Amino acid sequence: MGNACCAEPKPDIQAKRSMDEEFFKLHVDAGHMNDRRRSFVDRLYTILGDETTLDAAAMAKAFDADAHPDVVAGNRSAADVRAELHEALAAGGGPVTRQLFEDYYDLQSITVDRDEQFEALVRSSWIALVRQKAAARKKRG
């Protein structure tokens, strides 16, 4: 006879526990991107532009969503992820503020365990736009 205290939870209880953990992450853990990740996102924002130049629609168009974990896992399309990004960055109704950009990545950060993975994900999403901005700066001299 097995020990009742150590029995595996029933699948429906396990699924509820998993949903509760996800809810907790989204509603309680949000806002806690660590300093390394926040610094990385802040540097990227500065490279991409500023509050007078960053447009949500243009950023969503330039965003490479193919490396997003949900796209890689086949759970969502790149277009869906791009639309989500656009919605988040356009929330202010004007240019993309540093705070909106940070808030988007604050939520994304919850889904990535290691800092290196997070940085690689963010870097791969914006490398084309970063290269474009660097080429434009080089051209200006």
**Model pLDDT for residues 73-113, shown as the tens digit of each residue:** 999 999 999 999 999 999 989 899 999 999 999 988 988 88
CATH 1.10.238 fits 36-136, yes or no: yes
Pick 26 or 77 by higher pLDDT: 77
Q: How far apart are CA 121 and CA 126, in angstroms?
A: 9
Q: How far apart are CA 29 and CA 110, in angstroms?
A: 7
Measured over the CA atoms of residue 92, residue 44, residue 31 and residue 117, the dihedral's sign is positive
- What is the structure's pLDDT at 52? 87
Q: 89: closest CA among 120, 59, 52, 46?
A: 59
DSSP letter for 30, please: T
Amino acid at 16: K
Tell me which DSSP letter residue 8 carries. P
Does residue 37 carry a pLDDT above 90? yes
Amino acid at 99: Q
Global pTM reads 0.73
Averaged pLDDT score across all residues of the chain: 84
SS3 content of the chain, % helix, strand, coil (to 5): 70, 0, 30
d(CA 96, CA 114): 27
Provide mean pLDDT across the span 39-56: 93
Residue-wise pLDDT tens digits, 105-136: 998 898 888 999 999 999 999 999 999 988 98
